[in-house]
A and B are shown apart, each in its own frame.
Chain A
Amino acid sequence: MSDIAEVQSFTVTFIIRRFNPETDTEPYWQDFDVQMYSTDRVLDALHKIKWDVDGTLSFRRSCAHGICGSDAMRINGRNRLACKTLIKDLDISKPVYVEAIKGLPLEKDLIVDMEPFFAAYREINPFLQTSAKPEKEHIQSPEQRARFDDTTKCILCAACTTSCPVFWTDGQYFGPAAIVNAHRFIFDSRDEEAQVRLDILNSKEGVWRCRTTFNCSEACPRGIEVTKAIAEVKQAVLRGVR
């Protein structure tokens, strides 16, 4: 907090991969110089460009603090949320490269078609299935609740899935995010249909495609241990849940 008074701004060069489907045949890179403060986010830079320089620059965003999952993008070659990436954490002696996440159809500038991503999510039955009809709440101990806490944090931003080399080359692979959301229910003590999800994930487009490259864990803005979750699902496929 001590340096809050030092309000010093500097020029940062952003090189953004542009594509307008109505006019361009190929994407291209475009430079913008932006005045930034060290506590600004990359999202602030995109806003400055859009609001002051070029209104056609297109990207998704909503909450601006890392909880809605709208603005996953590749920043200097790594998948991150623009609203959670601070200028002070980037090497600004060099230009900052920003482009859309990979592996989903490019629509315009930083916007991709999210539908294939959500389709994979829907495949794994992402909802509680139980025959129990408790009068009030189901009873679940704090330990049982803790078992799947990590994977409840997912905001469906797709940073993990679109950082996965297997997903880039094999568009059929469910991808890490779908497995994370399956994990959330497979290890929930209230759910009775773990086996159905495990069978789905045991299929040819399921968990066995994962090559454990760890890109997904590094990409996750919620700090979910994605690779660990996938490993636990693999174990459960082989040995059962409990």
Chain B
Amino acid sequence: MTQVHNHEYDVVIVGAGGAGMRAAIESAPHAKTAVITKLYPTRSHTGAAQGGMAAALANVEEDSWEWHTFDTVKGGDYLVDQDAAEILAKEAIDAIIDLENMGLPFNRTPEGKIDQRRFGGHTRDHGKAPVRRACYAADRTGHMILQTLFQNCVKLGVEFHNEFYVLDLLLSEEKGQTRTSGVVAYELATGDIHVFHAKSVVFATGGFGKMFKTTSNAHTLTGDGVGIVWRKGLPLEDMEFFQFHPTGLAGLGILLTEGARGEGAILRNASGERFMERYAPTIKDLAPRDIISRCMVQEVAEGRGAGPEKDYVLLDCTHLGAEVLETKLPDITEFARTYLGVDPVHEPVPVMPTAHYAMGGIPTNTDAEVLKDNTTVIPGLYAAGECACVSVHGSNRLGTNSLLDINVFGKRAGRNAAAYALKAKHVALPKAPESDVLKLVETLRASNGSENVATLRKELQVEMDRNAQVFRTEESLKHAEDVIADLRARYANIGIHDRGQRFNTDLLEAIELGFLLDLAEVVVVSARNRKESRGGHMRDDFPDRNDADYMVHTMAYKADDSIRLDWKPVVITNYQPMERKY
């Protein structure tokens, strides 16, 4: 029998990746805080991040946060909210120092300062040349961030509820305002349900790359948090913008950091030509990701791909030498050896774009408060990290700006959530707050239809790769929309095997697929509606950026059985949109 437990906290943080734990470190010393996470904290995908975290420390060459702001705005193809980008770049410096002071073992310069390296799109003086702005720890920067934040949570005695899946957000209307009273979670070990009554709730649930087949994302990145918010009728922003990282291991999607190109690696086509010279003469292989991914796909489409099927290009690191590879890029060197049997010291590595990062998500203001329309916040509800859209990344995120985002806005979310909880009262729980989750879980547990969860998920992933990836058209997106509608209908007729209470991962995969299907539809519908090309969203049928009609954020709302689309203005402070050339 499923049991229901009740808990009461000031602040509940959903997710224990970089954003969630950074928030917890801010909140726990001041307010009674719980972190609820479906994975053990150190399993979170922040640990997979490799290349670095940007901050204009100017430790190795001249740099300024203003240049960083400009690069972020331009990298995002001007769809960035410039007030937010300015906060990101300014607070970056403290964010790095915070992490170092907490114990993060950054690589060092000969003088013992934090070392920095080049990364795509980060330049000196508004695009003049690449600049060394990425602080890093070999190619394990995310691992070190995740470990350091976890260590500091242990130090502070932060309370974790590990392997608890949050499946519902509790909202109610009070005095004409939408307010939250907490969340409802499912405990993997026992199958029990837990109601968390809280004054503030922070969503930090990460991305949803698993809607694509070729992805750098973990199996568990299924967009649950974003999906929950969506099902509650709250809007999602800029969902059409998904980043395809140029260098995934061909056929596998496992990431090889852009830090490799930062250290000097070069992309080549079948004839050995350094093709990026043709497309981005100034910064070549360090152009932003959206541009490089498109060039790679184009090289392959025009018959210049390498390999027996001519279906990938090559990342050439051979001239870097064993020493640089072993000391600055040891993990990716090992990935290529282990998973492709290719030794980067001696041979170029087969690569192709891999679905990597969700620019869109839960709209928030710069205080990390969740918006229910273009301007109204929901008091006490916060979001930060990859699940959120502030928007500091616009239509294309620069490398090293996400580890930065999770630290800057994770910190803001935690601090503001605690401050809010100290002055607010608990909102009364709705009647039987667990009922929706109980119904969802019991229906799926008993499901015995003829459709298989894994089959539907695979069909979704294949369709998204084929029709909603680097290049999109009205026709491809319409096709994807129809396929998703069909998959959603078939999802209603799934059957699972495991009817047990304990560690029922079969049941949870079914629930996760539900979120993926919901979000894939939002991605595709938003993409169809944006009849221009900008950043990560490339329409073959509308190849140019169209500022007159589309210099606005997309806001998608769930409306009964359809999706309603609206727009939200972009905040422009200092930088007028210009053509994006590198």
Chain A residues near B (Cβ < 8 Å): 1, 4-5, 20-23, 39, 47, 50-52, 54-56, 58-70, 84, 86, 107-109, 111, 114, 118, 121-122, 125-128, 134, 136-142, 144-145, 148-149, 152-156, 185, 188, 190-191
Contacts of A67 in B (CB 8 A): 47-48, 143, 331
Contacts of B147 in A (CB 8 A): 152, 154
Q: A61-B219, A62-B39, A86-B339 are in contact. List 4 more A-B contacts (CB 8 A).
A: A60-B43, A63-B219, A137-B113, A140-B112
How distant is the Cα of A114 from the Cα of B101 in the complex, in angstroms? 29
Chain A contact surface mostly = loop
Contacts of B112 in A (CB 8 A): 139-142, 144
**A126 with B151: CB separation less than 8 A:** yes
**B101 with A152: CB separation less than 8 A:** no
With contacts A61-B219, A137-B113, A140-B112 taken as known, whether A84 is within 8 angstroms of B338 at the C-beta atoms is yes
List B96-114 residues whose CB lies under 8 Å from chain A. Answer: 96-97, 100-103, 105-114
How distant is the Cα of A190 from the Cα of B106 in the complex, in angstroms? 12
With contacts A22-B500, A127-B155 taken as known, whether A68 is within 8 angstroms of B97 at the C-beta atoms is no
Q: Does B454 contact A (CB under 8 A)?
A: yes
**A128 with B103: CB separation less than 8 A:** yes
Count chain B residues whose beta carbon lies closer than 8 angstroms to a beta carbon of A: 64
- The contact of A138 among B40, B43, B100, B501, by CB within 8 Å, is B100
Contacts of B103 in A (CB 8 A): 127-128, 185, 188, 190-191
**A155 with B254: CB separation less than 8 A:** no
Q: Name the residue of chain B whose CB is nearest to the CB of A149.
A: B105
Q: Does B45 contact A (CB under 8 A)?
A: yes
**A54 with B218: CB separation less than 8 A:** no
**B506 with A55: CB separation less than 8 A:** yes
How distant is the Cα of A169 from the Cα of B501 in the complex, in angstroms? 31
List B203-222 residues whose CB lies under 8 Å from chain A. Answer: 218-220
What's the nearest-Cβ distance from chain A to residue B24, in Å? 14
With contacts A128-B102, A138-B100 taken as known, whether A68 is within 8 angstroms of B42 at the C-beta atoms is yes
* Highest count of chain A CB atoms <10 Å: which of B105, B154, B307, B504: B105
- The contact of B154 among A109, A126, A140, by CB within 8 Å, is A126
Q: Name the residue of chain B whose CB is nearest to the CB of A84.
A: B338
Contacts of B338 in A (CB 8 A): 66, 84, 86
**B502 with A107: CB separation less than 8 A:** yes
How distant is the Cα of A1 from the Cα of B350 in the complex, in angstroms? 9
Contacts of B44 in A (CB 8 A): 68
**B144 with A152: CB separation less than 8 A:** yes
**B498 with A56: CB separation less than 8 A:** yes
How distant is the Cα of A210 from the Cα of B189 in the complex, in angstroms? 32
26 A-B residue pairs with Cβ-Cβ distance under 8 Å, sorted by A, are A39-B339, A39-B341, A50-B506, A55-B453, A56-B500, A59-B505, A62-B220, A64-B218, A68-B42, A68-B43, A68-B218, A107-B502, A109-B503, A111-B503, A126-B154, A127-B102, A127-B154, A137-B97, A137-B101, A137-B113, A141-B110, A145-B106, A149-B105, A155-B143, A156-B42, A190-B103
